[in-house]
C-alpha cells in the first residue's frame, strides 16, 4: 500500500506530536451534501448504497474530495451485524431502521450465530478494500462498529426507541439472557473489526449510541464490560495490535475515567462535555475527539468559526502532558447542515489550530 500523504490523524492516536489538530466529522458522508443525495437517489435506497462497494466508496470519498478532511470513515451502517444475523434490516420512510425479525424471546437469542465477515458481511470488506485503493494514500481510513449494547438495543426493540423498555426489561428481568445476547454480539463485533483491519481499515471506532441511557452500574455491566472485551481483543491480536481504537458513548461524559481504563487509544466526547475538564480528567491517558455541537453547522459561518475556536481553545495548548486532540462534532452532522459551513469548519481548524501546537 502507498505511504500516507496525510497521517496527522494516526500520528495523534499514536501519541506523536503534530503540527496542527486533525479534523474529521461523524457522518461526514451524508444527506447535507448534494452529491451524496444524487448518489443515494441513483442507488435507489440507503441499504443498496451500503451494500454496493463501488457506491459506498463513492460517497466515502465525496467529503474528502470537497473539504480536504484529515481522515475518511467507511460508509456503512452500525446495524450490518444484526442484519447479517438474520434479523432482516429494512429502512422505513419516516421511521428509520426497522428489523422484520426482532428478538422477542430468549429462544431467539440462542439461534444467533457470529456472521462470517467475508461471507454475510463480505460487501463491507469489499467496500473497505475499494476505498483504500481509491484513497490512494491521501488520508487514513476509519473502520467502525456499533457497541454491543447499542446493537442489542436495536435487535430487541426492533427499531429506535424513546424509553428502551424491551431491552431494559430484558436486562432487569433476565440478566443472564441479556448477557448471552451481548456476548454473541461482542464476539461478532470482534471478528468484524479484525476483518476490517485486514481489509484495510487503519483505525477503529466503536459507537455506543445508547450507553448513556443506562445507570452507572448497568453501564459498567452491560455496555462497558463488552467494549472492554473488544479493546482487549484488538490489542492482544498481533494483526490488529497497532490499530488505534476510539470509544464513543453518547451521553457518557460522567464515565470518561472508566472508558479510559479499557486501554483504548481515544475517547469521543459529545457536546455536553466540557473539553477542558475532560482533558484534566483523562487527557494524559487517551486522545480526546470532539466535540462541537452539531446544530452549529445549521447556522451561519461566523457561528461555526466562533464555536470551532472555542473548542480548540477549550482543549488548549498541546504539551507533554496531553495525549492530543482530534477535532470532530459531538455527534453526527445533521441533514440540514450547510456544506459551506463544513468548509468553514475545516478551514478554521486547519488554519488556526497550529497556534495551539507551538512550543
Residue position matching grid coordinates 442484519? 83
The pLDDT assigned to 2 comes to: 75
- Known binding residue 28? Answer is yes
22 with 36: CB under 8 angstroms? no
The pLDDT assigned to 31 comes to: 95
80 with 65: CB under 8 angstroms? no
- Known binding residue 29? Answer is yes
The cell numbers describing 323, all together, are 495525549
Q: Is-catalytic flag, 31?
A: yes
- Known binding residue 27? Answer is yes
Q: Is-catalytic flag, 40?
A: yes
The pLDDT assigned to 1 comes to: 66
- Known binding residue 52? Answer is no
The active-site residue, picked from 36, 154, 226, 315, is 154
Q: Rg for the chain (alpha carbons), in Å?
A: 19
**45 SS3 class:** coil
Domain boundaries, the chain: 8-271
- Known binding residue 165? Answer is no
- Known binding residue 261? Answer is no
The cell numbers describing 150, all together, are 447499542
The pLDDT assigned to 161 comes to: 81
Which CATH number describes the domain made up of 8-271?
Answer: 3.20.20.210
CA–CA gap between residue 212 and residue 197 (Å, rounded): 28
Q: Is-catalytic flag, 77?
A: yes
Instruction: Note the maximum CA span of the chain.
Output: 60
Between strands 96-99 and 72-73, the pairing is unpaired
Beta bridge partners of 326: 289
Q: Is-catalytic flag, 36?
A: no
Instruction: Name every residue whose Cβ is closer than 8 Å to that of residue 23 and which is 6 or more positions away in sequence.
Output: 69, 70, 326, 327, 328, 345, 346, 349, 350
pTM score: 0.97
The active-site residue, picked from 9, 20, 70, 77, is 77
**332 SS3 class:** coil
Best CA proximity match to 76, nearest among 133, 131, 37, 7: 131
pLDDT in tens, the chain (359 residues): 678 999 999 999 999 999 999 999 999 999 999 999 999 999 999 999 999 999 999 999 999 999 999 999 999 999 999 999 999 999 877 778 899 999 999 999 999 999 999 999 999 999 999 999 999 999 999 999 999 999 999 999 998 888 899 999 999 999 999 999 999 999 999 999 999 999 999 999 999 999 999 999 999 999 999 999 999 999 999 999 999 999 999 999 999 999 999 999 999 999 999 999 999 999 899 999 999 999 999 999 999 999 999 999 999 999 888 899 999 999 999 999 999 999 999 999 999 999 999 87
Which residues in 131-145 are b (16+ Cβ under 10 Å) and which e? bbeebeebbbbbbbb
* Number of H-type helices and E-type strands within the chain: 16, 9
Q: Is-catalytic flag, 358?
A: no
- Known binding residue 9? Answer is no
CA–CA gap between residue 208 and residue 206 (Å, rounded): 6
CA–CA gap between residue 100 and residue 103 (Å, rounded): 10
Instruction: Name every residue whose Cβ is closer than 8 Å to that of residue 319 and which is 6 or more positions away in sequence.
Output: none
The active-site residue, picked from 20, 40, 221, 279, is 40
The cell numbers describing 29, all together, are 458522508
Amino acid at each position: 500500500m502507498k505511504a500516507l500523504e496525510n497521517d496527522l490523524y494516526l500520528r495523534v492516536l499514536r501519541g506523536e506530536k503534530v503540527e496542527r489538530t486533525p479534523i474529521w466529522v461523524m457522518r461526514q458522508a451524508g444527506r447535507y451534501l448534494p452529491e451524496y443525495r444524487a448518489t443515494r437517489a441513483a442507488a435507489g435506497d440507503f441499504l443498496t448504497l451500503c451494500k454496493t462497494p463501488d457506491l459506498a466508496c463513492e460517497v466515502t470519498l465525496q467529503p474528502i474530495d470537497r473539504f480536504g478532511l484529515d481522515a475518511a470513515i467507511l460508509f456503512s451502517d452500525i446495524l450490518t451485524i444484526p442484519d447479517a444475523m438474520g434479523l432482516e434490516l429494512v429502512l422505513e420512510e419516516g421511521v428509520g431502521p426497522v428489523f422484520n425479525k426482532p428478538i422477542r424471546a430468549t429462544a431467539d437469542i440462542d439461534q444467533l450465530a457470529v456472521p462470517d465477515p467475508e461471507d454475510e458481511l463480505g460487501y463491507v470488506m469489499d467496500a473497505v478494500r475499494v476505498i483504500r485503493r481509491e484513497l490512494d494514500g491521501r488520508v487514513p481510513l476509519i473502520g467502525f462498529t456499533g457497541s454491543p449494547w447499542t446493537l442489542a438495543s436495536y435487535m430487541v426493540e426492533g427499531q429506535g426507541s424513546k424509553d428502551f423498555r424491551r431491552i431494559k426489561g430484558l436486562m432487569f428481568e433476565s440478566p443472564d439472557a441479556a448477557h448471552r445476547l451481548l456476548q454473541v454480539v461482542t464476539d461478532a463485533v470482534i471478528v468484524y473489526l479484525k476483518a476490517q483491519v485486514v481489509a484495510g481499515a487503519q483505525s477503529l471506532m466503536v459507537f455506543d449510541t445508547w450507553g448513556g441511557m443506562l445507570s452507572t452500574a448497568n453501564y459498567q455491566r452491560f455496555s462497558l464490560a463488552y467494549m472492554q472485551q473488544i479493546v482487549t481483543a484488538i490489542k492482544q491480536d498481533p494483526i490488529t495490535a497497532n490499530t488505534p481504537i476510539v470509544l464513543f458513548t453518547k451521553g457518557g461524559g460522567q464515565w470518561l475515567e472508566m472508558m479510559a481504563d479499557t486501554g483504548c487509544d481515544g475517547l469521543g466526547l459529545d457536546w455536553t462535555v466540557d473539553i477542558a475538564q475532560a482533558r484534566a480528567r483523562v487527557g494524559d491517558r487517551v486522545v480526546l475527539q470532539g466535540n462541537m455541537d452539531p446544530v452549529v453547522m445549521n447556522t451561519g459561518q461566523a457561528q461555526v468559526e466562533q464555536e470551532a475556536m472555542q473548542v480548540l481553545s477549550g482543549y488548549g495548548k498541546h504539551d507533554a502532558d496531553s495525549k492530543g486532540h482530534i477535532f470532530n462534532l459531538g455527534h453526527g452532522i445533521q441533514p440540514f447542515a450547510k456544506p459551506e459551513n463544513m468548509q468553514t469548519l475545516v478551514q478554521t481548524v486547519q488554519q488556526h489550530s497550529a497556534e495551539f501546537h507551538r512550543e
